[in-house]
Amino acid sequence: MDLYLKLFEVLFPVFLVIGIGYWYGKKDPKFDTKFITTLAGNIGLPCIIFYSLTTSNVDFSVFLRFLYYFFLYVGVFSILGILVLKILNKDIYRLLPPLILPNTGNMGIPICLFAYGKTGLAIAAAITSVIVVFHFSLNILLASRKFSFKPLINCVSIYALIISLFFVYFKIPIPNFIENATFLISYSTIFLVLMSLGVALSNLKIISFKESLIFSFIRIIIGPLIGFGFVKFFNLSGVEAGVMFIQTSMPSAVLTYLIGQMYSPKSITDNIASTVVLSTFFSFITVPMVVFFSLKYFG
């Protein structure tokens, strides 16, 4: 009974805020989330990374390991994704990102926070920083068919990660006023990104149901299976195993659609939007099962 209560406590706040955002998006279809997305990307997420990494009891080696795990995870998933897209005769480049890049930020971070506390938040933030790097490098490269260092140079989260790891490595104490400020911004950001996810879901449409169903299945079923394989292969346990499993079970990232909108043809972005919507709605069924398993066996 305690486990089911814990599961409810972890998921209810997340799904409630997403639901509020979805309702608000339906009520006001013209509501522009661009400001929230920009604010979260340039200020909120960097603060989450800095606060969680510098105030947790997780040491430097753990962060490096998870950076390595997720670079490897994306690489393994990319091979599978390319094979599937090749078989389906689809655009291998532009349709790969929604398969391999999970929504570790909007959904993953708050779920890991509620499931495993500050330690879970720290590891989840480290993972998200890797995914952000992939968004502003690999995702843009695949969507535009050309590489540019400019998005990476302009990505504030990368600088936040470097600064955070500097503080963690040298064990430099954080002044209270900085800790309090980043704490306040971090938790406000979690609310904002969940709301914006709900609003985004209310506006995105499902165009190609059959193809998107296949892509969604790959993202939310195969993704966590690979994640669980990593847990076993690297002999992870406790919080580390739980966060790894949860983060790899997340649906397609909304950012893959936003970047696709900027660089890809409309037919491709419609397909990406459909995958984001379907995988997110199906994740409302699969994620509770993954979190339940994580709490029970990796608690």
pLDDT in tens, 53-74: 999 888 899 989 999 999 999 9
pLDDT at 146 over 90: no
pLDDT at 1 over 70: no
pLDDT in tens, 197-234: 999 999 898 888 889 999 999 999 999 999 999 999 99
Query: In terms of pLDDT, which residue wins out, 155 or 146?
Result: 155
The per-residue DSSP string of the chain comes to -HHHHHHHHHHHHHHHHHHHHHHHHHH-TT---HHHHHHIIIIIHHHHHHHHHHHSS--HHHHHHHHHHHHHHHHHHHHHHHHHHHHTT--TTTTSHHHH-B-IIIIIHHHHHHHHHHHHHHHHHHHHHHHHHHIIIIIHHHHHSS--SHHHHT-HHHHHHHHHHHHHHTTPPPPHHHHHHHHHHHHHHHHHHHHHHHHHHHH-----HHHHHHHHHIIIIIHHHHHHHHHHHTT--HHHHHHHHHHHT--B-HHHHHHHHHHS-HHHHHHHHHHHHHHHHHHHHHHHHHHHHHHHH--
Q: Retrieve residue 163's tokens.
A: 């600064």
Radius of gyration, CA atoms only, the chain: 18
Beta-bridge mates of residue 102: 252
pLDDT at 145: 84
- CA dist 127 and 108 (Å) reads 10
pLDDT at 294: 98
Query: In terms of pLDDT, which residue wins out, 204 or 181?
Result: 181
The HSE-up count of residue 106 (CA atoms within 13 Å, CB side) is 28
Residue 197, number of CB atoms within 10 A of its CB: 26
Is residue 65 packed enough to be buried (19+ CB in 10 Å), middle (13-18) or exposed (0-12)?
middle
pLDDT at 32: 79
- CA dist 190 and 54 (Å) reads 18
pLDDT at 267 over 80: yes
pLDDT at 152: 86
Q: Over range 15-36, report the average pLDDT.
A: 91
How many domains are there within the chain?
A: 1
- CA dist 102 and 68 (Å) reads 16
Using the structure block, give the residue that is written with the tokens 């994740």. 283
Using the structure block, give the residue that is written with the tokens 């800790």. 179
pLDDT at 130: 92
pLDDT at 101: 97
Q: Retrieve residue 293's tokens.
A: 């398993």
- CA dist 253 and 260 (Å) reads 11
pLDDT in tens, 79-98: 999 999 999 999 999 999 99
Query: Which stretch, 1-5, 112-116, 265-269, has highest mean pLDDT?
Result: 112-116
Phi and psi at 298, nearest 5°, equal -120, 30
Amino acid 46 reads: P
Residue 71: give its domain's CATH number.
1.20.1530.20
Domain housing 180 = 2-297
- Residue 13 Ramachandran class (φ > 0 left, ψ -120 to 50 alpha, else beta): alpha
